[in-house]
Chain A
Amino acid sequence: MVTGPTVSVEEGASGPVRPRGLLAARIAPPGGGGRAALWTAVGVLVLMGAAALFAPWLTDMDPAATDTTATSLPPGTPGHPLGTDALGRDLYTRMLHGARSSLLVGLVAAAITVVAGTGLGALAATGPRWLDTAITRTADALLALPLIVVALALAAVAGSSLSTVVIAIAVTAWMPVALVARAEMRALRARPFVRAAYSLGLSRGQVVRRHLVPNALPPIAAIAAFEVGHAILTESTLSFLGLGLPPNQPSWGNLLTDARSHLLTGQWYTVAIPAAAIVVTIVAVNVIATGLDRHEATEGRTW
């Protein structure tokens, strides 16, 4: 059980660790269609990002303001393009403000994951043997656990807040990055240019900074994109389970939670709209990740 997850990322294996769940559904566009799909995905993400960034200018309503005269309106109602929820809150406004929380958590958590993962991978690859063992075994152990359980435990202990969610995601997602970074750097360590750098008198730290990390970046970049998707999905899951962002702060996951009790009551759109936003974002992120992956594989390395 302990050896299971490490096998595929032993030294020399530079392919990124495959993600699971919804993230595993990669879109692999055939041949030249790849570029069009890639740009579509980028376009979708830019649009989502802009919507989140400019939310206060795109709507003049307050996402928390209820309107008891306009409850449970269907999409397309004048003044409420996406309809309203059971308390009369405008779903368009809530989706925009929800995008802010969801994308912010996704980006910040993914950034922390990638930086921490790369750092730990570099430490493991170049540090003393005991440190290498400690980091890889910890990563193995965490990979062997259902991560949602770990994230749930963390969120339950620390209470619901934006920072808890970010930390819970980072703690449960750094392992693939670290293992790939470590494997990549160990392979690089034996290359002539690295040896040359050492013989020129560069310290270990300088070699890591100037040669090992920059050259290990392409495969890490491919995982990083997946990590964004993973983070958005985990935030939604935690919020849906009531352990993510505080319930009155709109996020896509929280909108799903709010809508849950209406699952069978005919207001399908309160569930469908946030769910669709999550799926579209994840698919777009995955298309980009796949594109990065292929790009790196075909063009090779330069140094």
Chain B
Amino acid sequence: MTRFRALIAVGVALSALATGCAAGGSGPEDNEDTLTYALGDEPEAFNPALVDEHLDPVTEMVFRGLTAHDADNRVVPALAESWEISDDERTYTFHLREGVTWHDGEPFTADDVVFTIEGVRDGGFATSNKYANVTSVTAEDDTTVVVELERPTPALLDTLSNGILPEHLLADSGIDDPAFGEHPIGTGPFQLDTWEHGSYARLTAFADYYAGPPGLDAVTISYVPDAATRLIQLNNGEIDAAYLEPQQAGEVEGNPDLRLEVYPTADYRGVLFNMEDERFADPALRQAMNYAVDREAIVESVLYGYGTPAGGPLDQSPFHVEDAVDYSFDPGRVEEIMTEAGYERNGEDVWEKEGEPVSFELTTFAEDGVRSAMIEVVATQLREQGFDVTAEPRPRDAVDWAGLESFLIGWGTPYDADSSLYGPFHSSEALADGGSNYGSYANDEVDAALEAGRGTNDEAERAAAYADFQRALAEDPPYVWLTYLDAVNAVPANLTGPQERALAHHGYGFFWNVEDWSYSS
């Protein structure tokens, strides 16, 4: 029997080795400029129609949209060379770039744009509401597209940075064709060669890319969910570059073959409250808690310094107003606000009102190590200020949005402000209505400001609307704002091209200018 078990053990070990080799076999080949980059999350399909602007690296490299973003996240031309907007802001005329081809050699035309916009709008996807205001989209000729809108939609140019899809491949099977998601064909600088699920995706340079062939010959995206494994592989040379967790950055700093690229992101963390729960109804309580957390300490301990304190959802946006609110760690303010609101400390030094102590559970996704660590620190800080908070991380599948008390959530976009504000904070998007306002937060002033902000292209009017929005949030904070995260990536020391830009969730967007990357020696 002992031998029998030993055989099992050997078998298991061998199969583990075999899979290890398969993953390692994707490494760079000689005399080719390749880059192997490891990260944790693997998407279910490479199809930009199914995701919002937070694109995974493969989708980002394979596809191109009508517009793109520059290093300051301003909209710049891509597949569209130029566009005109009518005076009533309801008609957009796009002039497409000529001579662009798909990875399979077919020409890119205005029909593809019409097909993509109509397909996403009518497809019933999570992304469909982005084009909900589009009443008609027509191809005037091969290189001219006219989009008619029901009402002004300032986020449209941002939305159009999402990849355009090929009509000639998808006209029959539909825009969400799963087979296409496996073998996508785009107009981007790299084309997908192979995708081994759970292991890696290999892309090669597309020589006919409209802006000229990219500097690298191939890029392999390796999916390694465990951060410690990524660091080991990076040090072994199995991979060239990787997305790192903050505590690992120090390990790379001394390595002469590697360089750290630390970019800010618009991805923030905050504590959401379930507003259906009467106990959280008083804005004073939520204001006080915003003064009870020491954001600098959270950044230093949980994020090892790779982050910045958050004061609201627009800190990284051009619409940010400095004077709306200044949340700093201030126990005195906590005492003052709570006492004014009629709370008293009870025998256990916990705030209470009418015999009801402020006691609740703070949860988050247990799989996310940074969030799990963050709720432990936030709970301790709040307990020290008299709020009886228990940290209780739960597996993603076990999170019951309607039943939870508070949750460490993450939102934020580096692109148009509207796309990450209307969903989480407008009362019409409440959880019960199927929206992403998971805390069912409702405030009339916030609603009005959000509607004004998305109703015009006029920068000054929008700025005023979002200033009102931020002041309304300061009066009635939906969250305890915590921190913005920095994205930490390690790349080969001799890789040139990566350029700083405020990135999206999970540090997505790191490959935004991948066509300009190359090795210097």
Contacts and interface: CB of A to CB of B under 8 A. Distances in A.
Do the two chains belong together in a single complex?
A: yes
24 contacts: A4-B4, A7-B1, A8-B1, A18-B2, A66-B380, A68-B297, A68-B298, A68-B300, A86-B301, A86-B373, A87-B302, A87-B373, A88-B301, A146-B8, A146-B12, A246-B392, A260-B228, A261-B228, A261-B245, A261-B247, A261-B369, A263-B228, A264-B231, A264-B251
Please provide the 9 A-B residue pairs with the shortest distance between their CB atoms, ordered closest to farther: A68-B297, A68-B301, A66-B380, A66-B377, A4-B4, A65-B380, A71-B301, A66-B376, A263-B228
Given A89-B376, A160-B395, 20 more contacts: A4-B4, A5-B1, A8-B1, A18-B1, A18-B2, A65-B380, A66-B301, A67-B380, A86-B247, A87-B377, A146-B12, A246-B392, A246-B393, A247-B393, A248-B372, A248-B392, A261-B227, A262-B247, A264-B248, A265-B247
Contacts of A66: 301, 376-377, 380-381
A7 B302 CA distance: 54
A221 to B, nearest CB: 21
Contacts of B228: 260-261, 263-264
Contacts, number: 79
Residue from the set B373, B393, B398 with the largest chain A CB neighbour count within 10 Å: B373
Interface string A62-92: 0011111101000000000000001111000
A242 interface: yes
Interface in B203-261: 227-228, 231-232, 235, 245, 247-248, 250-251
A20 interface: yes
A159 interface: yes
Contacts of A68: 294, 297-298, 300-301, 377, 381
Contacts of A159: 395, 398
B247 A248 contact: no
B245 to A, nearest CB: 6
A68 B250 CA distance: 19
B409 interface: no
Nearest to A146: B8
Interface string A252-287: 000000001111110000000000000000000000
A159 B5 CA distance: 29
Contact of B248 (A4, A64, A87, A261): A261
Interface of B: 1-2, 4-5, 8, 12, 227-228, 231-232, 235, 245, 247-248, 250-251, 294, 297-298, 300-302, 366-367, 369, 372-373, 376-377, 379-381, 383, 391-393, 395, 398
Contacts of A64: 376, 379-380, 391
Contacts of B12: 146
A211 B379 CA distance: 57
